Structure 1
Amino acid sequence: MNNVTDYNNQTITRGDLKYQGKAKSVYWTSQADILWLHDTNQATALNGKVHENISDKGRLNSAISYLLFKHLHQHGVATHYLKHISETDELVEKLDIIPVEVVVRNFASGHFVSRFGVASMTELTPIVQEFYYKSDALDDPFINDSQLIALHYATAEEIKSLRLKSAEINDILRRRFAEINIELIDFKLEFGRRADGNMILADELSPDNMRLVDKTSGQSLDKDIFRQHKGDLTVGYREVLQRLEKLEK
């Protein structure tokens, strides 16, 4: 991995490791407001309790995330994504990350099915939005609006913004995936605050944090392949990437 790149006529040098996530390494850089992300080949399930190194997964995640962030930018959505700098690396804006995962559900799947006893793939109208407190030690527990406010993780106005931004991103991505015959079942988003307090999209956009299903075959094209031992995870990821790349031509 090359540790030097250019961005906005600046030389950016990768620094020390800031944080090691389940599937990403986050590094400081020579610019205080820029971080360097490296996508690893690790696949995890059950909140990191199950993990496996899968060749080429990091490259696929990085490429898919780049194309989806690029598409959101073209639709006026502000995100932390700055530059795709290698097959597995990107520069992002440093944010004050809000410790909340926003899960958007278009169809019933995963825990939603077992929790409420509904049939898998039941379309949800309106869409369901759920908040989870980001804590590996606590297994990311569900958290409601009043808890978020009482614990000073987000204000009432920020919670409203989280819901509006998540719904907007969902609309844009659902339409994008529909163009390539893929259904966006559900996905997870994270947000962070800029220095001015403005809240924008962070983290990644890949089959690691989405459920994606081929509309014709019903085949999973996401990390459920790994979770449910359905075969080679990279086959689904590669299919998603190839379809997205065709839209760029």
Structure 2
Amino acid sequence: MKLIYTGKTKNVYALEDGNYLLKFKDDMTGEGGVFDPGANTVGLTMEGAGQAGLRLTKYFFEILKDKGIPTHYVDANLDEATMTVLPAEVFGEGLEVICRFKAVGSFLRRYGKYVKEGQALDSFVEVTLKDDERGDPPISEDALAMLNILSREEYATLKQLTVEIANIVKNELAKRDIKLYDIKFEFGRVGKDKHIALIDEISGGNMRAYKNGEPIKPLDLEKMIIDAQ
């Protein structure tokens, strides 16, 4: 294996067969030791976080596979905290796509003049550039097209998949009386036809989930979902 990318929460290795291996770490995004899925820095390290993230990712990616939704997932090794994935071409230098069901986090900080904390949002889709130096700025469909990061047709597909996948996750959590406030995804172009597919992960580190009005820590969320099966 050849290390090709060192990320905040996982490392990426190239495999001889052309696929890639993602190695999940115990590092989590946040600031000052407090977890925040919207942060662009590593804020804390929790033993077992990488394996928990992979267990939840495997669970959700296999649900999506059964529903025929395109992803880069091939298989996972829970003991090694690794996931084998198809190669994917990212948009520009990477985009993050957030689906929001409640006004919290950076949405609330930006638009707090017009919304109350926890106010319901209708599967609001927001795209941000992966750019730590500039604080992952939000970007519009027009700007994405003008800057040749992705086409308007690709944006429509990206948005449709985001809403569909987010609501699948939301409904799975609801089976455990857990409310999904927001979730962050990444997408890429996969295969010879360069179809848009979900990449990266679906874990507690990528979402805000609440039960009885209290936020659920990523490791606790994994136990509540996986152990409840």
Give 5+ residue unaligned stretches, structure 1.
1-14, 222-235
2:16 corresponds to 1:30: yes
The change in CA–CA distance for 1:30 and 1:136 in structure 2 (over 3 A counts) is same
Matching residue's letter, 2:220: E
Distance 1:240 1:52 in 2: 17
2:215 corresponds to 1:220: yes
Trace 1:61-140 onto structure 2 (pairs within 5 A). Answer: 61-87=53-79, 88-98=81-91, 99-117=94-112, 118-124=115-121, 126-140=122-136
**Counterpart of 1:199?**
196
Quick check: 1:67–1:244 contact (8 Å CA) kept in 2? no
Once the two structures are aligned, what percentage of the paired residues are identical? 28
Matching residue's letter, 2:78: S
More displaced 10-residue stretch of structure 1: 19-28 or 165-174: 165-174
Matching residue's letter, 1:61: G
Query: Could you tell me how far 1:114 is from its partner in structure 2?
Result: 1.8
**Counterpart of 1:226?**
none
Matching residue's letter, 1:42: D
1:208 aligns to what SS in structure 2?
helix
- Poorly superposed stretches of 4+, deviation over 4 Å: none
Matching residue's letter, 1:238: L
Matching residue's letter, 2:30: A
Of structures 1 and 2, the one with the larger relative CO (CA 8 A, separation 6+) is 2
The change in CA–CA distance for 1:200 and 1:49 in structure 2 (over 3 A counts) is closer
Distance 2:42 2:135 in 1: 13
Distance 2:66 2:225 in 1: 15
Query: Could you tell me how far 1:219 is from its partner in structure 2?
Result: 1.6
**Counterpart of 2:5?**
19
Alpha-carbon RMSD across the aligned residues, in angstroms, is: 1.5
**Counterpart of 1:243?**
224
Query: Could you tell me how far 1:238 is from its partner in structure 2?
Result: 3.4
Quick check: 2:2–2:13 contact (8 Å CA) kept in 1? yes
Query: Could you tell me how far 1:237 is from its partner in structure 2?
Result: 2.8
The change in CA–CA distance for 1:84 and 1:115 in structure 2 (over 3 A counts) is same
Q: Which has the larger radius of gyration?
A: 1
Distance 2:155 2:175 in 1: 31
Query: Could you tell me how far 1:246 is from its partner in structure 2?
Result: 4.3
Distance 2:22 2:56 in 1: 14
Give 5+ residue unaligned stretches, structure 2.
32-38
Query: Could you tell me how far 1:91 is from its partner in structure 2?
Result: 0.4
User: Which deviations, in whole Å up to 9, do the C-alpha atoms of 1:70-96 show, x marking residues without a partner?
Assistant: 112122211111101233111011100
**Counterpart of 1:54?**
46
| Aligned length in residues | 216
State the TM-score, normalizing by the size of structure 2: 0.89
**Counterpart of 1:9?**
none
Quick check: 1:36–1:91 contact (8 Å CA) kept in 2? yes
Distance 1:56 1:94 in 2: 26
User: Which deviations, in whole Å up to 9, do the C-alpha atoms of 1:97-122 show, x marking residues without a partner?
Assistant: 12221111011111111211122111
Query: Could you tell me how far 1:245 is from its partner in structure 2?
Result: 2.1
